[in-house]
Structure 1
Amino acid sequence: MRAADVLALHHACSRSGLTVWIDGGWCVDALLGEQTRPHHDLDIAVHRRDADRVREILTDLGYLASPTPDDTPWNFVLAKGPDASVDLHVFEHDADGAVSYGIAYPVESLTGTGTIDGERVDCIAARWMYTFKTAYPPAAKDLHDVRALAAKFGFPLPDVYR
């Protein structure tokens, strides 16, 4: 998944008046302000009211449904070849800001901004990206991401990441 692919989706959504928040490894790199490792996919957070339109935009960009047994209405993948896929994480909050549907993104987690190839993007806030990345046993890419976030933002490095 190239930076140009990420930005093409971000631009298409912005032109349609939609906000998507970059999540996962691309979020880490956006927060760091530079691409630090290869990415085979893009994770995005999408409000429930916008999910169908974002799916249409992805289809227009050449992405097709790529069903897996783990798919849910709030978490599914569209792919364009083996190294370009988008994992949609759909959420909704109630009037009080509590998660009422889908992926548990606290409202304050959707306040981050970063840059990809010098362009500003909305993303998961750094503190929350760090929290999400340290909530499960790390793969090699997670070791890299958490160490980079800790170094840039001064977060404590858990022992398992040392």
Structure 2
Amino acid sequence: MKKEHTTETDLFKILDIMDETGIKYYLDGGWGVDVLTGKQNRQHRDIDLDFDADFTDDLLKKIHDIGYETVTDWLPVRIELWHETYGYLDIHPFIFDADGSAKQADLEGGFYQFEADFFTTVPYQDRQIPCISQKAQLLFHSGYELREIDQIDFQNLKSLE
């Protein structure tokens, strides 16, 4: 049976791995919301990371070497992986520009654009964690029918205002 939730311990293990690689990254998704709010607010199926696309091969080698298996490969948009101990990891290659903005490939061959203020670093559990900003997270939680977990994330993001 596959591990269905990632824990804070799993999160810290993945962040440690990312820090060891030296690859620029930002925490995204539900764990990103929880880091912004300063506490875990719900269970998380996966850990979402946006990372420097120039290092896709290096990152994939590193995480495959520690036992992750690719579950979904939608490169250049995203790759979902699974590890029996650490659970699911969803990685998204970003192309970072000198001005701090970035873009990510979309499934139609174009790009999503991300402003420089979509990226931040916040303190969480005695660490400084690079993550997607509240502004970006609120934008990402709009324009679609929110699932229950998205509603939880949205309310937690709004509580920061």
TM-score with structure 2 setting the length: 0.81
Identical aligned pairs, as a percentage? 24
Q: 1:82 offset after TM fit, Å?
A: 9.4
1:96-146 per-residue CA deviation (whole Å, 9 max, x = no partner) reads 777565252514155222344332210001111111112322000000000
Q: Which residue of 1 aligns with 2:3?
A: none
Runs of 4+ with deviation above 4 angstroms? 93-101
User: Structure 1-normalised TM-score?
Assistant: 0.80
Aligned to 1:27: 32
SS in 2 for 1:18: coil
Change (3 A) 1:20 1:105: farther
Structure 2: which 5+ runs fail to align? 1-5, 107-111
Determine the structure 2 residue equivalent to 1:134. Answer: 142
Aligned-pair distance for 1:57? 2.2
Structure number with higher helix proportion: 1
Aligned length: 151
Aligned-pair Cα RMSD in Å: 2.4
1:46 alignment counterpart: 51
Q: What residue number does 1:13 align with? A: 18
SS in structure 2 at match of 1:67: strand
**Map of 1:65-144 to 2, 5 A cutoff?**
65-67=70-72, 71-81=74-84, 84-93=87-96, 101-102=104-105, 104-144=112-152
Distance apart, 1:17 and its partner CA: 1.4
Which has the larger share of strand?
Answer: 2
Please list every run of 5 or more consecutive structure 1 residues that lacks an aligned counterpart in the other structure: 155-162
